[in-house]
Amino acid sequence: MRIIGIDPGLRACGWGVIDVDGPRLRHVANGTCRPSGSDMGSRLMSLHLLLTAVLEAHRPDAAAVEQTFVNAGGQSTLKLGQARGIAVLVPAQAGLTVGEYAPNAVKKAVVGVGHAAKAQIAHMVAMQLPGCAPDSADAADALAVALCHAVHLQMSCRVAAAVARA
């Protein structure tokens, strides 16, 4: 199964693609979309086009997006929410169900601690995906989102199998 993780942002939107084969995880690609444009509409359109190109190039089977972290300033949270809307829309347009995870859930799944620092996330992503070199902290976060989704899907399959046996 191929999973894309997306860390939404209006200036830098990280993405990471992994392949999952049972317990094996393999890094496929990662990058950072940097939308252009001076107004919100053009930036959102640019982000949509960039993410669509990534999905067309890598053809994931599943997608996961990090939920919005509520900032102290409501205006920045609203703007990030718009970028997040595009990050959910693009995989949905490709026919994918989108998993959504809180930042602390992603950190806990990848690092083991819900309040891990960015450096810890990048380190654990590199440990779990040998040879992976994220092109930015946003790309490392996106790979962490993909890893979190992989863990979630594996647990869901185990639970379903246990329920079927019962």
39, 61, 138, 141: the active-site residue: 138
95: CB partners within 8 A, 6+ apart: none
One of 66, 100, 135, 141 is an active-site residue; which one? 66
The number of angstroms, rounded, from the C-alpha of 121 to the middle of its chain's C-alpha atoms is 13
| Residue 138, marked binder | yes
**H or E stretch at 98:** strand 98-101
Is residue 135 part of an annotated ligand binding site? no
7 labeled part of a ligand binding site: yes
Task: Let me know if 56 is a catalytic residue.
Answer: no
What is the rounded CA–CA span in Å between residue 130 and residue 132?
Answer: 5
- Of the listed 7, 21, 39, 100, which one is catalytic? 7
* Helix or strand run (H / E) with residue 18: strand 13-21
Q: Is 138 a residue of the active site?
A: yes
| Single-letter amino acid, residue 151 | V
Binding site, residues?
A: 7, 66, 138
Which residues participate in catalysis according to the annotation? 7, 66, 138
Binding site for Mg(2+), residues?
A: 7, 66, 138
